[in-house]
Copies of this chain bind each other. A is one copy, B any other.
Amino acid sequence: MEKIRIGIAGLGRLGKHHAGNLAFRVKGAELVAACSIVDAELDWARESLGVEHLFEDYERMLRSTQLDAVFLVTPTNRHPQQIMAALQAGRHVFCEKPLALTIAECEEVIGVAREHPDRVTAIGFVRRYDPGYAYAKRKIQAGAIGRPILFRAQTADMDETAAFQVEFSKSSGGVFLDASIHDMDLARWLLESEVQDVYCVGDCYVHAEFRRYDDADNATALYRLRNGAAASITVSRTAMHGHDTHAEVVGTKGSLVVGRPPRLVNVDICDEHGVRSECVPSFYERFEQAFLLEAQDFVRCVAEGCQPRCSLADAAEATRIAIATTTSYRRGERVVL
């Protein structure tokens, strides 16, 4: 049982999370290298994870002979170049979503990937690995709700993260490309069709600072899919109770509700506030298990020589929908894809 040797680029909060999984919890994986421009992060990788090969420069890490694969947890605008460089260096690639901020870049990456069909290229649409969403997918495939006709979802971050989000908005592409994109991917995956048009309503209701980037703090978009199904996707950056990500899939024979309520742990508290549950504070807690399953599946794909459940074409389509949604939000009009 030879291990897949992996190098990670980007050791911010999510990067650290991935690195910890790769170092200790993914059978068949070995985290052998890490790359960051922050010295403290490299120190952390060496000391906490025992990573041997540390780099400040991504290209140098790629050229290091020891690697089978790279994990990219870097800013979105670096994704396309870094993915292509990795493929050209013969590495398998896992890259956090979104694939890119423009369609042109998505297509460029797809072109390069086509030249390296034996390399695994995974984009981190982590919710496909969440036990809840994956269970819904299996139920739908088994016919439990008939034909899916409506996807209704929400991704909501806590208001206390908003200051960070404003700063992040500069490079993230905005709330639709950064957060809603997960639900857009799920809509396609669960409704099994492509988005045809979108109408989006939202605003900076709480944090005017998002206007600087023509971004929203709360918005809801309604989509028509080519097979006639509908999707309604809400995104929020001002939730008070927790990170509240949930979805419903309505079919002709029943419906499924995923992720409600967003309990931190399976405990109810009865006190002067009534009967209540504390909620997960962020997507780290909400998708902790999914991040692990996602990394395990990537390693399995590399080992077995197959591609993961979310293709590059899927990732490109999600970007396309997110851009159209952003346009609709900004113009106040329906946008046809």
Residues of A near any B CB (own CB < 8 A): 1, 23-27, 50, 131-132, 135-136, 139, 144-145, 147, 149-150, 152, 199, 201-203, 205-206, 218-224, 228, 230, 232, 234, 236, 238-242, 244, 250, 252-279, 332-334
Contacts and interface: CB of A to CB of B under 8 A. Distances in A.
Contacts of A201: 222-224, 230
Contacts of A236: 250
B265 A144 contact: no
Given A238-B252, A252-B206, A256-B269, A220 B152 contact: yes
A259 B275 CA distance: 13
Quick one: copies of this chain in the complex?
A: 4
A271 B205 contact: no
Nearest to A203: B228
A269 B144 contact: yes
A121 to B, nearest CB: 25
A274 B270 contact: no
Contacts of A250: 218, 234, 236
B332 A241 contact: no
A230 B220 CA distance: 7
A275 B262 contact: yes
A260 B265 contact: no
B222 A202 contact: no
Instruction: Pick from A26, A27, A145, A205 the residue with the most CB of B within 10 Å.
Output: A205
A270 B334 CA distance: 31
A267 B257 contact: yes
Contacts of A275: 241-242, 261-263, 276-277, 279
A-B pairs, top 9 by smallest CB distance, nearest first, are A276-B276, A254-B271, A222-B222, A199-B199, A201-B230, A241-B270, A24-B27, A257-B268, A261-B275
A245 to B, nearest CB: 11
Given A132-B266, A232-B222, A199 B25 contact: no
A259 B221 CA distance: 23
A135 B263 CA distance: 12
A307 to B, nearest CB: 24
Given A135-B265, A149-B205, 4 more contacts: A1-B50, A25-B27, A144-B269, A145-B271
A258 B266 contact: yes
Contact of A272 (B150, B241, B261): B241
A150 B200 CA distance: 13
B253 A240 contact: yes
B241 A254 contact: yes
A22 B266 CA distance: 26
A230 B24 CA distance: 42
